[in-house]
Structures are given as structure tokens and as C-alpha cells.
Amino acid sequence: MKSGAGNLSQLIWKTVDWFYPPVCVECGSEGANICPECMQTLVPIQEPFCPICGKPSRHHNPCALCAASQFEFSAARAAFSYTGAIRSAIKKLKYFQNLGLSKLFAGFLASVYTNAGWQADLVTAVPLFKKRLAGRGFNQSEWIARPLAGMIRIPFSSGALQKIVNTRPQVELDQQERSRNLQEAFRAEPALVKTKKVLIVDDVMTTGATFNECAHTLRQAGASEIYCLSVASTVI
Ligand SMILES: [Zn+2]
Ligand SMILES: [Zn+2]
């Protein structure tokens, strides 16, 4: 049964959509954040994929990246390969708060979570450093993680993980520099995560260095298991 608040929020969103119809991030046509034609161009990550990092693979064994990296998370999964309309949509969410898009992403991640068969106790998002958060006004990963937590009925915690160092953007760095850049950059709250199975959400996974450092920090604070979910993953 739907709550009154849910009905009201749906009504408000319908009215907003009527005045400002969503525009497709890829082709600009009106009616949806990603139109049905552009939706067809998305590349879902399907079996076989690496059981650890979740990147597409030719077999079901750990991939070369995972054999070399020894990740501290149990597993990572992404809904799509980072290409085409999903790339445009993620970029759009990074710079504009768009509730329609974040709910769309959350819906994709809810089915990936269910298919993975994980049992998380807590959902959190890869955090931004305070100054960067103030500059952008919001954390795009949190915008995806919050509606996702609602959909899979697991509590969301923004205080579980914080970024305490203003690191250089990962895109400027190679794989080795990426993990060095993030060392000691996060802080986890033991009172919130101890003995918990934590699900971390991010928009894009590249080398896995960010998820890995978050997982390392959460483990140090006593988390028992770490799962990672991203909307898209770059293909190696
Ligand atoms: Zn389109
Ligand atoms: Zn892998």
C-alpha cells in the first residue's frame, strides 16, 4: 500500500515533469532522462564477468586486474559498461542534481544487488571531501545510494564513511598513483560499521582503487564484509 507522502511526492513529480519534461541526456528528445531508443544502446554487464571486480570477462575466474590487486572488498558489480548514453547520464548527474536520473540509476542498481544475492546491513556512498562537496553542492554517489537504500530496504548512512584528505582527481593519475593518492584519505565510523556488512555505492568504477581504499578503511573500523556497486564500470 502506498503512503500519502508517496502519493504526494508522485503527484509533485508528475507536475514537475509536465512543466519541465525530462530531456534525453544522449539525443535531447523530450519525455525521459534516457529515451527508449538510447536505452537500447546501453551495454549491461552480463555473465561471464569476473567474480571479484565484476568487469566483463571471457570466463568466470578472477581477471588479471584482480589477480594483481588483492582487493579488500568481497565483490564489486556494475550495471553497465561505461560507454554511450550511460556515460552522458553519469556526467550529467555529476554536475546537475537530477532526481529522475538518480532514481533511474538506483533502480538499475537495485536489480544488480538482488541478482548478486548479497545481504548488506548498511548502504553508504563514496564520500567527497568537505570542500569539494561545498563546491558542487551535492555528492552524486549519495544521490544514487539514498534512493537505492530505500528500494532494497536497507538503512543508508552518510556518516559511516568520510573523506578526510582533499586528494588529486583520480582521472589525472595512472593505476599505481591512484592507490597511493587515496592512502589514508578516508575515515570510517566504528560505532556505525563494526561487525556490519557494508554496501558502498559509486557512480563509476575504473581500476577499483577508490572502492578498495574505502573497503580497507571500513575493515579497519571493524566492518565484516564489503560489497561495492557502481552504475558503470570501465572495460579493461
Ligand atoms: Zn535519446
Ligand atoms: Zn576482476
For every residue of 155-207, DSSP letters joined together read -B-SSSEEE-S-PPPGGGS-HHHHHHHHTT-EEE-HHHHTT-EEEEEEEEESS
Domain range 42-233, CATH architecture: 3-Layer(aba) Sandwich (3.40)
**Which of the listed ranges 91-95, 183-187, 196-200 does the model predict with the highest average pLDDT?**
196-200
* Nearest bound ligand to the CA of residue 211: 2
Residue 19: pLDDT band (50, 70, 90) is low
> Which residues touch 97 (CB under 8 Å, ≥6 apart)?
137, 138, 143
Lowest mean pLDDT segment, chosen from 8-12, 47-51, 83-87, 119-123: 8-12
d(CA 199, CA 202): 10
63 CA from centroid of ligand 2 (Å): 4
Mean pLDDT of the chain: 91
Please report the pLDDT score of residue 163 as a whole number: 95
* Nearest bound ligand to the CA of residue 208: 2
Question: pTM higher than 0.95 for the full model?
Answer: no
Residue 115 vs residue 173, higher pLDDT: 115
Pairing of strands 197-205, 186-188: unpaired
* Nearest bound ligand to the CA of residue 76: 2
* Nearest bound ligand to the CA of residue 55: 2
Please report the pLDDT score of residue 5 as a whole number: 62
Overall average pLDDT of the 58-63 stretch:
89
210 CA from centroid of ligand 2 (Å): 15
* Nearest bound ligand to the CA of residue 34: 1
29 CA from centroid of ligand 1 (Å): 6
The identity of residue 92, as a single letter, is: K
Per-domain boundaries in the chain: 42-233
Residue 20: pLDDT band (50, 70, 90) is confident
8 CA from centroid of ligand 1 (Å): 29
